[in-house]
Structure 1
Amino acid sequence: MTAPRTADAPVTIFGPDFPFAFDDWITHPQGLGELPPERLGSEVAIVGAGMAGMVAAYELMKLGLKPVVYEASRMGGRLRSQPFEGGQGVVAELGGMRFPASSTAFFHYVNRLDLQTRPFPNPLTPAAGCTVIDLEGQTHWARGLSDLPPLFAEVAEAWARALEDGAGFSGLQQALRERDVPRLKALWDRLVPLWDDRTFYDFVAQSPAFAALSFRHREVFGQVGFGTGGWDSDFPNSMLEILRVVLTGCDENQHLIVGGAQQVPVGLWHHAPAAHELRHWPAGTTLASLHQGAPRHGVTAIARAADGQLALTDTWSNTRHYPAALTTCQSWLLTTQIAVEETLFSQKHWMALDRTRYMQSSKTFVMVDRPFWNDLKANGWPTLGMTLTDRLTRGTYLFDNGPDKPGVICLSYAWMGDALKMLPHDTHKRVQLALSALQKIYPDVDIASHIVGDPISVSWEADPHFLGAFKGALPGHYRYNHRMYSHFMQDAFPAAERGIFIAGDDVSWTPAWVEGAVQTSLNAVWGIVRHLGGRCHAANPGPGDVFAQIGPMALPD
């Protein structure tokens, strides 16, 4: 399965529900598997050209299949890097923009494409320069936690103690670091039935560490949090989901992709694997070359054809048959945008797909003439800092692209109710609202005078191809997540339900993090290879080969 690691190994997204070493599997010299000779060159359908779709298509191409990619909107999915007009390549990251170093399978592809990364300017990190926290009209400037009033350190300490007392956090994370599968499974599986039915807020409020403090401490934790910022938009979510995030290091040591995250899925579209990695196809083959340059149009219907194959119909009413298909779109689209024949999924799976709950998210960006926030004031502090506030903007991030390029400000990054406040407004109104809020924090700074070009904004819940930013599992959703995640294991399915697969971060145990999209797409690769009569090399077993031994625990229905 996987070789244990040392006690000081870095934290990675290794489980905890399914502790399979995806990073080792995709780098093994034996490759991901092999197909029967008669299957080489066969077409398989990939619905969606986001990260999950492109990883699956890229790996299936290497194995000798011909992925046929369908995309209804634009390549990249929620890795959407929108260029500013005339901005010398400067982009607004409308979707995923910060990627934890623990995302080792994702960074395998980043490194393969030779893309540059740098630390993301999260609050209280060196990359941010300084952080400004504005709550209830009081503003604090800080370069580290020690610069803030004692209340903030008390909140941080209470959160650490709550994790230790309620989940045995340090022992759990150590088992994850060492990739000690039996120990990790034993510790995690004990927590699943205890925490699935409880909210994140309940965990915080009922912990002895926070119970000994004031409501104000919980309020500050919700508004500011630590690592990536405020947590209160996640308070209704299952505690299991939050525990996975902090356990696997998703909220720390994050990086951005220089030039934009969309380069990763688009880069896989154009990347030619080494000749020794390709089976069946000639050296130099790329996904783009197999498609004559562009993916097919969006899918409008999926059904079981008379020949037993899957029939996919696109926007222009073209229908093609495939022995296997992978859908990587958000699960709600399988009932709202695509007419999927009901018998392709069991009713249990339909329940899980339909009960997925998506979180709202809004971002508003402006390009500025230069990174003027680096100008020092008389007191030695920068003009602006990364800003966390209880005002309408919630989170404001500053992106310095160098002295020879314009800077970018994410004026507002908001979630759930705060994102819905922006939904009715056009981009210019959103900028005005954000500038008005920031003027109260920085009364002597004229941000508007530095804005150049047109601003850019997004509300993911308003996009018919997404209907939300990402999944946020509620208490009691573990069973639904289990059904979706394990769907690639199809040996026990009736014939009518085989051959169609699902992947994406909403199928994963770590929604909102691109590593979940990558890992579930690799699960689907294994499933498709098996469905077509292929197998993994004995020296490099795949996720399905070990699923019975280390797969996620199942709660009774």
Structure 2
Amino acid sequence: MTIATELTSTPAAGAPVTMLNPDFPFSYDHYLAHPAGLGSVPAHLHGTEVAVVGAGLSGLVTAYELMKLGLRPVLYEAGRLGGRLRTDAFPSAPDVVADLGGMRFPVSGRALYHYIDLLGLDTQAFPNPLSEATPSTVIELEGRRHYAETSDQLPPFFQEVAEAWRRALEDGAQFTEMQEAIRDRDTRRIKELWNNLLPALDEQTFYGFIAESKAFKDAGFAHREAFGQVGFGTGGWDTDFPNSILEILRVVYTNADDGHRRISGGAQRLPEALFTHSPGQMAHWPAGTSLASLHQGAPRGAVAKIRRGPDGTVAVTERWGRERSYAAAVVTCQSWLLSTGIDTEEALFPAPMWTAIERSHYMQSSKTFVMVDRPFWKDKDPATGRDVLSMTLTDRINRATYLLDDGDDKPAVILLSYTWNDDALKWLALDAERRTELMLHSLSKIYPGVDIASHIIGEPVTVSWEHDPHFMGAFKANLPGHYRYQQRLFTHFKQDALPAHQRGIFLAGDDVSFTAGWAEGAVTTGLNAVWGVVNHLGGSAAPENPGPGELLDELGPVALD
């Protein structure tokens, strides 16, 4: 964790903080673990086909759980399995990988870890700035370099920045009270605190929140500037400054910015394992059935059109013309694609839903990786005794550089630059080689005696998510005033109040969640959609294990108007 996280996190005691989202504090991890399961559908509906558009994490969780209930999910995917859990291997060393999308997963995301543990995937601590997994961190701002192995080795100025953030959270967002309520899973208290904050903060930016806090006013602009560059948990967050402060509070309340782990072998192993895994208990399907076996090894192709069929079903047409009708459909792709990439019948969604879809704000993001011959950064500078290279936070164009290895006896990986929004757009027009040259040039100013290039082997790997036509951005991040739109998107899975011609098609995916950008949101909205499909088909949750739909009215997001 960074120094700011270290100072703002409540000491571990009793129950852990989880990603129990204050907008809808439903315990998805308990729901998943309950022996009664997620419900049932009438036996005569076993084998009923349900379309699932998008084979990212949300789509695969949805399909996996529908299969367990005896339904037959039909997955559609325009690219590769995994969506934004995308892992690339370096061609000359297939075991050395780079996670181009999601790469670090907070342990507070218990619904996500339900599947990581179920599938037997190994994880290891992610080397965030100043975390225990990071040998050393360098913060370089305005040409001044600060080396630290622990947070207490940083200059007092950074302690002051962290303290200002801690005070801002306490004074303006009742941070400690909310974390205590989340630890206790005290849903009444969580909702009381959050619902009182919503009207006051819905139209406030992240920057406005800190700039108007007494703590940062007292500290001065330099502290706000440094906070933006260095941030908390995962590095600098000034690219988030225009976003709603509600987005940030959801992250810090639930420790989503801390305790990160990475999946050994790459994040894409999780969706791939969901596709091939055969659950131990399933309705209808014989032992050994998996999503892969139901799809003959591969999902169907890209979706070109979604329509309401004359018999009330949902008709899905593939890019090359094959059409099939379904009793229900779940759409988990990035929601913008419903208007830009898929010819979607307008009447399938109410006009306010289309407004919410179109108003979605996506974060641009860029990463560039190189493989190196070994984790040479563990070498010591004989003059200083320090690591020759460190995890780096800087105001140069790289912004954040991470060092990743799986042992001293094999090649390692440097994530030369991880950037967002305006910083990501600086790289958009450049190819991988030019990106690498510029990043190495910047790092040479911070580490003038280190020849990083001499260790690079193979070709660099890069991504700009805003350039990918299937995504057009890394993930959603609401702007001030967007709470109403998010409420519509999130609650769409409960369709009792909709007319018949708008029922049976459900939205899921991390951008439908209140925690976009975190895999936990992809999982939980997928589970919402499963509940919606079961309810739509005449099934129900187990009485002893009520689902998200049963508790939405009690615990769900409130209407501001």
TM-score bracket, shorter-length normalisation:
over 0.9
Displacement of 1:273 in angstroms is 0.5
Does the C-alpha gap of structure 1 residues 7 and 494 become closer, same or farther in structure 2, counting only changes over 3 Å? farther
- Which residue number in structure 1 is paired with residue 260 of structure 2? 254
CA distance in 2, matches of 1:339, 1:28: 39
Q: What secondary structure sits across from 2:408 in the alignment?
A: coil
RMSD: 0.9
Q: What secondary structure sits across from 2:366 in the alignment?
A: strand
Aligned equivalent of 1:425, options 405, 422, 430: 430
Q: Does 1:93 align with 2:102?
A: no
- Which residue number in structure 2 is paired with residue 360 of structure 1? 364
Q: Does 1:172 align with 2:168?
A: no
CA distance in 2, matches of 1:160, 1:68: 47
- Which residue number in structure 1 is paired with residue 442 of structure 2? 437
CA distance in 2, matches of 1:382, 1:145: 16
- Which residue number in structure 2 is paired with residue 191 of structure 1? 197
Displacement of 1:86 in angstroms is 2.0
Which residue type is aligned with residue 509 of structure 1?
F
- Which residue number in structure 1 is paired with residue 548 of structure 2? 543
CA distance in 2, matches of 1:236, 1:212: 22
CA distance in 2, matches of 1:182, 1:7: 21
CA distance in 1, matches of 2:305, 2:94: 40
Q: Could you give the per-residue CA deviations for residues 265-287 of structure 1, whole angstroms, max 9, x where no partner exists?
A: 1100000101xx20000001000
Aligned residues: 549
Q: Could you give the per-residue CA deviations for residues 317-340 of structure 1, whole angstroms, max 9, x where no partner exists?
A: 000000100000111100000000
Q: Does 1:488 align with 2:520?
A: no
Does the C-alpha gap of structure 1 residues 64 and 202 become closer, same or farther in structure 2, counting only changes over 3 Å? same
Q: Does 1:383 align with 2:388?
A: yes
Q: What secondary structure sits across from 2:316 in the alignment?
A: strand
| 8 Å Cα contact 1:44/1:65 also seen in 2 | yes
CA distance in 1, matches of 2:277, 2:358: 35
Displacement of 1:89 in angstroms is 1.0
Q: Does 1:339 align with 2:376?
A: no
CA distance in 1, matches of 2:121, 2:289: 21
Which residue type is aligned with residue 260 of structure 2?
Q
| 8 Å Cα contact 1:223/1:389 also seen in 2 | yes
Which residue type is aligned with residue 175 of structure 2?
F
TM-score, structure 1 normalization = 0.98
Query: Percent identical across equivalent pairs?
Result: 60
Displacement of 1:7 in angstroms is 6.6
CA distance in 2, matches of 1:499, 1:247: 34
CA distance in 1, matches of 2:476, 2:552: 24
CA distance in 1, matches of 2:13, 2:138: 36
| 8 Å Cα contact 1:300/1:338 also seen in 2 | yes
Aligned equivalent of 1:506, options 502, 511, 517: 511
CA distance in 2, matches of 1:177, 1:493: 36
82-91 or 330-339, which moves further after superposition?
Answer: 82-91
Which residue type is aligned with residue 496 of structure 1?
H
- Which residue number in structure 2 is paired with residue 76 of structure 1? 82
Displacement of 1:404 in angstroms is 2.4
- Which residue number in structure 2 is paired with residue 200 of structure 1? 206
Q: Could you give the per-residue CA deviations for residues 495-535 of structure 1, whole angstroms, max 9, x where no partner exists?
A: 11100000111000001000011000000000000000000
Which residue type is aligned with residue 395 of structure 1?
A
Displacement of 1:126 in angstroms is 1.6
Q: Does 1:464 align with 2:448?
A: no
Displacement of 1:241 in angstroms is 0.7
**Unpaired runs of at least 5, structure 2:** 1-11
Runs of 4+ in 1 over 2 A off after TM superposition: none
Which residue type is aligned with residue 204 of structure 1?
I
Which residue type is aligned with residue 358 of structure 2?
D
Does the C-alpha gap of structure 1 residues 88 and 404 become closer, same or farther in structure 2, counting only changes over 3 Å? farther
Displacement of 1:437 in angstroms is 0.4
**Unpaired runs of at least 5, structure 1:** 1-5
Which residue type is aligned with residue 519 of structure 1?
T
Q: What secondary structure sits across from 2:374 in the alignment?
A: coil
Does the C-alpha gap of structure 1 residues 381 and 7 become closer, same or farther in structure 2, counting only changes over 3 Å? closer
Displacement of 1:400 in angstroms is 1.2
- Which residue number in structure 2 is paired with residue 3 of structure 1? none
Which residue type is aligned with residue 24 of structure 1?
H
CA distance in 2, matches of 1:164, 1:18: 22
Which residue type is aligned with residue 549 of structure 1?
E
Displacement of 1:128 in angstroms is 1.1
- Which residue number in structure 2 is paired with residue 402 of structure 1? 407
Aligned equivalent of 1:120, options 99, 122, 126: 126
